[in-house]
Amino acid sequence: MSETGAARLQNRIPGLLVLAVAVLSAWNLWAIWSSDVYARGGAIFMLLWLVPLVYVVIKESRSTRESSDFFLLVLSLLGCLIGWVGSLNVAKHVGLALAFGGLARPHLFKYAWLLGAFAWLPATGWLAHATPVNGWPLRTVLLVLSLGISWPWWRRGRA
């Protein structure tokens, strides 16, 4: 492995470790999406929400600069810890969203993208269950708005 390849990998290790912890803490997310009537469709929203992040992370991987958001990674670990201690799934799920956001460099519009995580959180489905079609229109608008507002972040990819 070249020196720059090793530096790129070394810059990614903290973010990937925090993401692994967050994924392990939110292990029940798939079960919730598949069994809870109000949370159904969350996986689709999450996959759509992750598309810009994948694009940005691929663009940023060409750089040897610091490639993670330390602040979001710390908040992610804090959310996971609160979720474990208090048995709060919502804290674990928010910790997972923050871990995903922590994989990319800090950028103002990335935080607008991060708000789109509310589209796939099971808690949002439960809160919006009184709206038509169990909150699907509300969750869709939330996701589209977050992706639209964050366009300057993921369009360029900050390479």
Mean pLDDT, range 121-150, rounded to an integer = 88
Residues 50-79 have pLDDT tens digits of: 999 999 988 888 776 667 899 999 999 999
Q: Which of 62-66, 115-119, 120-124 is predicted with the least confidence, judged by mean pLDDT?
A: 62-66
CA-nearest of 126, 130, 124, 122 to 142 is: 124
For residue 86, pLDDT beyond 60: yes
CA-nearest of 32, 15, 10, 52 to 144 is: 52
Tell me which residue range forms the domain holding 29: 3-156
Mean pLDDT, range 14-26, rounded to an integer = 94
Rounded CA-CA distance 145/35 in Å is 27
CA-nearest of 62, 72, 53, 57 to 113 is: 53
Count other C-beta atoms under 10 Å from residue 97's C-beta. Answer: 24
- pLDDT confidence of residue 38: 86
CA-nearest of 104, 20, 110, 111 to 70 is: 104
Given pLDDT bands bounded at 50, 70 and 90, which one contains residue 157?
very low
What is the DSSP code (8-state) at residue 116?
G
Given pLDDT bands bounded at 50, 70 and 90, which one contains residue 24?
very high
What are the phi and psi torsion angles at 44 (to 5°)?
Answer: -65, -45
Q: How many domains does the chain have?
A: 1
Mean pLDDT, range 96-117, rounded to an integer = 94
CA-nearest of 103, 31, 28, 30 to 68 is: 103
For residue 8, pLDDT beyond 70: no
